[in-house]
Amino acid sequence: MSYIAVEGPIGAGKTTLAELLGERLRAKLVLEQFEENPFLGAFYADRRRYAFQTQIFFLLSRYRQQRELSQTDLFYENVVSDYIYARDRIFASVNLTEEELALYDEVEYALGKTVPDPDVVIYLQASVADLMESVHRRGREFEQPISEEYLTKVVEAYNDYFFHYRESRLIVVEAQNIDFLTQPQEVDRLLAAIYRNPHPPVEYLTAPRSVPFFSQD
């Protein structure tokens, strides 16, 4: 079984790409159940007050989903997810106080020992301006209070996390210049990178004549 995970900040297009890959590969699709979090709307209205409850709920929800991957239906050769388990830790680093993060890390560490790592992670990278536009365009009411300052912190946390990422193969995609929904040839190009053999541990999928946002060289 091949496990492919798509990641990126708020508004990067994770779910859209995961659904496209899932359809192409006839894979089991595992999507983040953000709408089930009862604290999410209150969190965006008052982040400091509801941060810890929001993070713990997401942590437990993602843990349960990831544990179920080990029991995936044998009829599926591939699994595609629109998040990785560590997504919650990335957001926790932005949202929690030092004391809350210490407690959170104890819980996360205990649970994370039994969570599978993806075979390939696709990191969708985009500018804060493009992410803000995407958030406003899709119009989810609870997301509208998101500020540019907050989203900048999230993007910085993502870039820092994936700069040091070594757990799986990593494909960094210049998402702000590639439209997978209207350009199916870009999905083909991404699939070619996923199944390339031999493959580099870190690879960049960029628009023509573009430069990667960061390098591990």
**What single string gives the DSSP state of each residue in 153-177?**
HHHHHHHHHHHS--SSEEEEEEGGG
pLDDT of residue 26 exceeding 80, the answer is yes
**Which has more pLDDT, 53 or 209?**
53
**Eight-class DSSP state of 71:** G
Indicate the residue type of 117: D
Whole-number Å distance between alpha carbons of 136 and 11: 9
Q: Crossing angle of helices 148-163/87-95, nearest 10°? A: 130
Let me know: does 81 contact 47? Beta carbons within 8 Å: no
Nearest residue to 80 (alpha-carbon basis) of 123, 26, 134: 26
Domains annotated on the chain, with CATH: 2-205 (3.40.50.300)
Percent of the chain surpassing pLDDT 90: 75
pLDDT at 69: 76
pLDDT at 217: 36
Burial of 68 (0-12, 13-18, 19+ CB in 10 A): exposed
Q: How far is CA 81 from CA 10, 21, 120, in A?
A: 15, 9, 11
Query: pLDDT tens for residues 1-10?
Result: 689 999 999 9
Indicate the residue type of 165: Y
The pLDDT mean for the chain works out to 90
Let me know: does 105 contact 52? Beta carbons within 8 Å: no
Query: pLDDT tens for residues 102-117?
Result: 999 999 999 988 888 9
Q: What is the pTM of this model?
A: 0.90
- Residues with Cβ within 8 Å of 154's Cβ and at least 6 positions away in sequence, in order, are 9, 10, 90, 91, 94
pLDDT at 75: 67
Burial of 81 (0-12, 13-18, 19+ CB in 10 A): buried
